[in-house]
Amino acid sequence: MNTFIENQNWRYATKKFDSSKKITNEEIAILKEAIRLSSSSYGLQPYKIIIVENPELRAQLQPAAWGQSQIVDASHIIIFANELNFGVTGIDSYFKNVSETRNVTLESMKGYIDFMKKTITALSEDEKNNWSAKQTYLALGNLLNAAADLKIDVTPMEGFVPAQVNQALGLDKLGLNATLIATLGYRHEEDATQHFKKVRKSNEELFITL
């Protein structure tokens, strides 16, 4: 079987982490790079990634995540936060990076810059926030796949109160909003969920070929 598929069969949303096992700095660096290299709309990456290691801060976050034990037991927590009302400033920053990375002038990209600004600024604030929030899910996907390759467990979470997380981390003051939480570490031997058969739709039910 293909190694990627084997990894997907191995991974699951871990319910109980072994708090005594920690992810190494080298592995965290790989996971960060996997997130950084994720695809995103126009390549803009309209989000920030917050890695929470401080145990006291994690204890403050646990009530906002409905008391889930993974928040305090996992080796690391990653918060995906979309940029609110993303617009011209973020686009200018992106193209400055493009110019420096590819050694091309901003003038040579003016048509594309203007198109992008016109497209994104035409959206309402709610539409922009919905769009930028969706981009964080692409980054989460890369994290899940990279972690599975390293045999690191990840539990993706939508089960939390964003406003409480924003307040605890000061995200609202930074123009950010928490959209996803991912807890990372190693499954506890007592987590019975790891032995459950994976339940997914069959190919016939899921796919439509036209």
Superfamily of domain 3-206 in CATH is NADH Oxidase (3.40.109.10)
Residue 12 has pLDDT above 70, yes or no: yes
pLDDT at 1 over 80: no
Model confidence pLDDT, tens digit, residues 178-202? 999 999 999 999 999 999 999 999 9
Domain ranges of the chain: 3-206
DSSP 8-state code for residue 7: H
The pLDDT value given to residue 2: 87
State pLDDT tens for residues 131-176.
999 999 999 999 999 999 999 999 999 999 999 999 999 999 999 9
Helix H, strand E, coil C: the string for 14-41 is: CCCECCCCCCCHHHHHHHHHHHHCCCCH
Q: Report which DSSP code applies to 189.
A: T
- What is the distance between the alpha carbons of residues 153 and 166, in angstroms, rounded to a whole number? 25
Q: What is the pLDDT of residues 13-61, one digit of tens each?
A: 999 999 999 999 999 999 999 999 999 999 999 999 999 999 999 999 9
Burial (CB count within 10 angstroms: exposed 0-12, middle 13-18, buried 19+), residue 176: buried
Reply yes or no on whether the pLDDT at 112 is more than 70: yes
